[in-house]
């Protein structure tokens, strides 16, 4: 269709070239203005510091621009050469790299992964059933993500990559491989290792040789590559004025690539089969398969999530409303955000990259602009208006629906759902995009939100599990609408505990455990919720942080929820040593808060990193509170200070403060190399 339109336009140009050129320029000028207006809205209202976007149409960049700052201090604006982290859009790179090995006959997607990674083992016999395809379509059954030491400031340490196979060796699967798809980062880390093992090259070398060089991508790099870091868009933290050090996402296959919007749009040509010299058309087409349909999945086809191979969606709404196939992949690191949308049948792709904000915002921005392009080119007649919703009318609920009342869980938490008076109350959903609210019964098995935009129901799947299904239309002012249809909670059985087990876990309720194994260069020290585990125990029902208690010191994942809400599952293992209790989760070790001693109250002192290299935590009690802290740190060392709410007050790796006033009830953590000595001064 698009090719025909292009041919007709070319014919008209022969007759009246000047008029048509002017009209085309005017149309593109209108789209350019609308894109700039939307981008400015994102900088103004959605926490974005800098945003960059580009559209590729039949192999040519037809729009490329940016708003906001590359560097706020110098007021340097974002331009087409500014580099950003692309987060999980990196998954399309490792997927393409693997498919290139398929093209060369070196990899079969449906052979066991152990054929290519010989030392891949797990404490679950089913691991031998995992195939490369299952890694790409998120159906491997792996728990999800090993985040430890993955996101570092100015540090490209590869320990996360190097330790993954060892950590998986002692872990189980949460489901039979292939049973259903749920977002899984570790699968793409394993694909990275597969590419290295099969090719004999490091992953960074492979990308450079077989993707970046042939496409002449000069700004598509990994943290392990050498390039001018000043090309990267500066990043900022909401509570800090100064820019942050360079963020390295050292999980390369999962989310470690840097690029620009123009280069990412150019790479999209590979993904849709237009560069058979790099990736065959048949492999590109196979990546667009509706892989999610192979397992348990939400029945609604209109969605933001419908997995292909690597792709988040292979039938992205709202494009599906027009009968157009659009593919998308989004990505978020701690500081960078990205979205790539491509429309293969019309050879149009758009990439949107940002510092600050969210990949959801970027995707909504790209969708809105691309619909304008499709309308301009006559591919769609007109853009449909956003859906409107009315206040729901509560009707009498069938009594049998009360049977769905009971205990439900998702990864990290449990909740009681009480269905009465034709109403249910649910916590905030979709990462807070949907607020905590009460839903009323409106018929056909559905409960509806007060504004009419969200519908909730209960569905028993073929695995005999009951799920809370959420059909959500989400409107963001200035950006439009997006749709998210998911299973959010899973009904749980009462888990009876013996007296000893019940009492031991009940005593842990409300306890906190502090990370010992995270490098001090980790960005997670800015977000202590990643470092401090709060234990919420429902001893009566036998659950802790959403996991099912199995004995006095162990609890195991029970969540088997497709799409997104079953991601990043974990088990809990506790043990005691020298009178202190420790928690192990995802292969990382944490120490109980009651085992953390107060920092000394004198004028000077020292602390030393132990031989195992673990961090040293100290409490701030009344003796040291309100004193001014200064620290003489070793070259590779650093420290962070938190108040009693767990908010970061100072992080030496990211800020330039010379001293910090210690908040009562807070904590201090020191990190560095084994044997590092910190000289501490209190005044």
Reported as a single tens digit per residue, the pLDDT across 332-373 is 999 999 999 999 999 999 999 999 999 999 999 999 999 999
Mean pLDDT value across residues 388-406: 96
Q: Measured between alpha carbons, how far is 354 from 340 in angstroms, rounded to an integer?
A: 12
**Residues ≥6 apart with Cβ < 8 Å to 30:** 372, 376
Mean pLDDT value across residues 42-48: 94
Residue 433 has a pLDDT of: 92
Q: Measured between alpha carbons, how far is 468 from 456 in angstroms, rounded to an integer?
A: 7
pLDDT band at 655 (very low <50, low <70, confident <90, very high): confident
Residue 1 has a pLDDT of: 41
Mean pLDDT value across residues 455-482: 95
- Which of these ranges, 20-34, 212-226, 604-618, 647-661, has the smallest mean pLDDT? 20-34
Question: What tokens were used for 137?
Answer: 């379509």
Is there a contact between 327 and 316 (Cβ–Cβ < 8 Å)?
yes
β-strands 532-534, 512-515: how paired? antiparallel
Mean pLDDT value across residues 544-548: 98
| Statement: residue 13 has pLDDT above 50 | no
Residue 529 has a pLDDT of: 86
| Statement: residue 387 has pLDDT above 70 | yes
Is there a contact between 570 and 585 (Cβ–Cβ < 8 Å)?
yes
Mean pLDDT value across residues 7-29: 39
| Statement: residue 217 has pLDDT above 80 | yes
| Statement: residue 376 has pLDDT above 60 | yes
| Statement: residue 240 has pLDDT above 90 | no
> DSSP state, 294?
G
Residue pLDDT, tens place only, 285-341: 999 999 999 999 998 889 999 999 999 999 999 999 999 999 999 999 999 999 999
Q: In angstroms, what CA-CA distances link 254 with 85, 108, 148, 201, 509?
A: 12, 21, 14, 18, 34
Residue 600 has a pLDDT of: 87
Question: What tokens were used for 57?
Answer: 């149409």
Residue pLDDT, tens place only, 176-198: 999 999 999 999 999 999 999 99
Question: What tokens were used for 353?
Answer: 């990259």
Residue 10 has a pLDDT of: 32
Residue 26 has a pLDDT of: 52
pLDDT band at 20 (very low <50, low <70, confident <90, very high): very low
Q: Measured between alpha carbons, how far is 640 from 254 in angstroms, rounded to an integer?
A: 28
Question: What tokens were used for 474?
Answer: 């989400």
| Statement: residue 21 has pLDDT above 70 | no
pLDDT band at 103 (very low <50, low <70, confident <90, very high): very high
DSSP collapsed to 3 states, 126-153:
HHHHCCHHHHHCCCCCCCCCCCCCCEEE
Is there a contact between 302 and 317 (Cβ–Cβ < 8 Å)?
yes
**Residues ≥6 apart with Cβ < 8 Å to 417:** 404, 405, 406, 407, 408, 424, 426, 468, 489
- Which of these ranges, 98-102, 406-410, 470-474, 597-601, has the smallest mean pLDDT? 597-601
How many Å is the Cα radius of gyration of the chain?
26
H or E element that contains 119: none
| Statement: residue 226 has pLDDT above 80 | yes
**Mean pLDDT for all residues in the chain:** 93
Is there a contact between 181 and 139 (Cβ–Cβ < 8 Å)?
yes
Mean pLDDT value across residues 399-421: 96
**pLDDT above 70: percentage of residues in the chain:** 96
| Statement: residue 637 has pLDDT above 90 | yes
Residue 255 sits at φ, ψ, to 5 deg, of -165, 25
Question: What tokens were used for 173?
Answer: 């699967």
| Statement: residue 281 has pLDDT above 90 | yes
Neighbours of 378 (CB within 10 A): 12
Residue 259 has a pLDDT of: 98
Mean pLDDT value across residues 602-606: 90
| Statement: residue 8 has pLDDT above 70 | no
Question: What tokens were used for 420?
Answer: 């009465």
């Amino acid at each position: 269709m698009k090719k025909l339109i292009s041919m007709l336009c070319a014919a008209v140009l022969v007759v009246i070239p000047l008029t048509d050129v002017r009209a085309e320029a005017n149309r593109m000028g209108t789209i350019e203005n609308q894109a700039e207006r939307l981008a400015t809205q994102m900088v103004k209202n959605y926490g974005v510091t800098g945003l960059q976007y580009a559209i590729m149409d039949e192999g040519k960049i037809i729009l490329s621009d940016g708003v906001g700052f590359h560097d706020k201090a110098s007021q340097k604006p974002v331009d087409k050469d500014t580099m950003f982290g692309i987060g999980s859009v990196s998954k399309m790179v490792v997927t393409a790299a693997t498919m290139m090995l398929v093209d060369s006959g070196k990899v079969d997607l449906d052979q066991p992964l152990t054929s290519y990674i010989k030392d891949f083992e797990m404490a679950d016999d089913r691991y031998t059933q995992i195939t490369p395809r299952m890694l790409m379509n998120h159906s491997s059954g792996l728990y999800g993500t090993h985040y430890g030491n993955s996101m570092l400031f100015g540090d490209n340490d590869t320990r996360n990559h190097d330790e993954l196979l060892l950590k998986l060796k002692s872990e189980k699967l949460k489901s039979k491989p292939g049973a259903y798809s749920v977002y899984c980062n570790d699968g793409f880390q394993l694909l990275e290792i597969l590419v290295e093992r099969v090719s004999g090259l490091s992953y960074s070398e492979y990308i450079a040789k077989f993707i970046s060089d042939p496409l002449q991508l000069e700004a598509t790099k990994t943290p392990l590559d050498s390039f001018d870091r000043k090309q990267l868009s500066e990043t900022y933290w909401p509570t800090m004025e100064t820019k942050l050090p360079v963020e390295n996402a050292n999980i390369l296959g999962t989310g470690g690539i840097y690029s620009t919007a123009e280069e990412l749009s150019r790479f999209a040509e590979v993904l849709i089969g237009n560069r058979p010299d790099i990736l065959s058309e048949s492999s590109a087409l196979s990546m667009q398969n509706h892989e999610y349909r192979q397992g348990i999945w939400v029945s609604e086809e209109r969605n933001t999530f419908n997995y292909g191979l690597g792709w988040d969606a292979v039938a992205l709404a709202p494009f599906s409303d027009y009968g157009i196939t659009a593919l998308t992949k989004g990505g978020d690191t701690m500081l960078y955000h990205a979205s790539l949308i491509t429309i293969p049948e019309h050879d149009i792709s758009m990439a949107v990259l940002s510092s600050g904000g969210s990949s959801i915002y970027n995707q909504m921005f790209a969708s809105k602009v691309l619909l304008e392009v499709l309308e301009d080119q006559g591919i769609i007649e007109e853009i449909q208006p956003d859906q409107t919703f009315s206040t729901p009318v509560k009707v009498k609920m069938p009594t049998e629906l009360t049977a769905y009342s009971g205990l439900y869980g998702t990864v990290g938490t449990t909740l009681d759902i009480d269905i009465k008076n034709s109403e249910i109350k649910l916590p905030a959903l979709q990462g807070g995009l949907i607020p905590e609210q009460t839903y009323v019964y409106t018929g056909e098995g559905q409960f509806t939100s007060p504004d009419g935009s969200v519908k909730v129901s209960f569905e028993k799947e073929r695995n005999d599990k009951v799920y809370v299904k959420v059909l959500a239309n989400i409107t963001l002012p200035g950006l439009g609408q997006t749709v998210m249809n998911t299973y959010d909670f899973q009904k749980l059985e009462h888990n009876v505990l013996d007296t000893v087990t019940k009492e031991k876990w009940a005593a842990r309720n409300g306890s906190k455990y502090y990370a010992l194994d995270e490098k001090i260069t980790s960005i997670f020290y800015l977000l202590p919720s990643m470092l401090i585990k709060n234990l919420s125990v429902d001893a009566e029902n036998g659950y802790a942080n959403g996991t099912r208690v199995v004995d006095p010191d162990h609890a195991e994942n029970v969540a088997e929820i497709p799409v997104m809400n079953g991601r990043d599952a974990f088990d809990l293992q506790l043990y005691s040593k020298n009178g202190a209790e420790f928690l192990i989760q995802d292969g990382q070790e944490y120490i109980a808060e009651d085992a953390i001693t107060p920092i000394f109250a004198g004028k000077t002192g020292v602390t030393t990193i132990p031989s195992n290299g673990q961090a040293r935590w100290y409490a701030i009690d009344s003796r040291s509170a309100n004193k001014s802290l200064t620290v003489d740190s070793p070259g590779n060392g650093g420290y962070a200070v938190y108040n009693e709410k767990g908010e970061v007050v100072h992080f030496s790796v990211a800020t330039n403060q010379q001293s910090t006033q210690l908040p009562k009830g807070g904590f201090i953590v020191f990190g560095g190399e084994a044997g590092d000595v910190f000289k501490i001064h209190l005044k």
